[in-house]
Amino acid sequence: MSDFNSMRINMVNNQIKPFAVTDTKILDAFGEIPRENFSQYSNEAIIYSDNIVYLSSKKKYQSRFYLSPAILAKMIQIADIQNDEKILEIGCLTGYSSTILSKLCKKVFAIDNDQELIDIANSNVKELGISNITFAHNALKDGYPKKAPYDVIFIHGSIEVLPDDICSQIRENGRIVTISNNNNVGNVVVFKKAGSFLDKINYFEISVPYISKEFMKKNKFTF
């Protein structure tokens, strides 16, 4: 039987902390939430890997993935989330990252374009007794205008194009956190709303797959 508690401690101490994640609230959240509980459609044996973990048990999920714990933690730290803020997560999968975010803010709205994943995510957070997350089935590119505006929008994957509908759902001084891909070079970025503009701040290079083809330039579609 796997010792998931030891794996979780190792993840925090040997993956997340060495990546200069120092916020104790973030470290505590990753240390508390059992990542293995969210491993539906992925290989439970590698769920604590420091690499991207794909959802590969069903063909329709083969392009979907979890960010590595260190990258996810670093992006969350960069987002500078406050405990009174409202967050939109785009691409929530089975709810792991949503649950981490829920420990840092007032409310999380999390969307995915697959109803089966939404149902699993709801079941997962219910089992943990978490009540400040609302999951919704919606097209990823549309965001979730029903509960906009948001203080932070977190996009779980790489993008080339930031849809206007998502830009319109961030409040003044709010932040959109994602990985921007330009000429096959990815950078973790924050887009900060200032009036009618979004100021882009680059943080560090990282290459991860696109969240979906809806966030790619049309001339790159190969599907």
Please compute the mean of the pLDDT values over residues 174-178 and round it to a whole number. 98
pLDDT value of residue 58: 67
Residues 6+ apart with CB under 8 A from 58: 41
Look at the chain and report how many structural domains it folds into: 1
**For the domain that residue 9 is a member of, what is the CATH number?**
3.40.50.150
pLDDT value of residue 56: 76
Q: Which range of residues forms the domain containing residue 31?
A: 4-220
Give 219's pLDDT tier (boundaries 50, 70, 90).
low
pLDDT value of residue 182: 84
Give tens-digit pLDDT for 131-168.
999 999 999 999 999 999 999 999 999 999 999 999 99
Pairing of strands 185-194, 197-205: antiparallel
Residues 6+ apart with CB under 8 A from 218: none
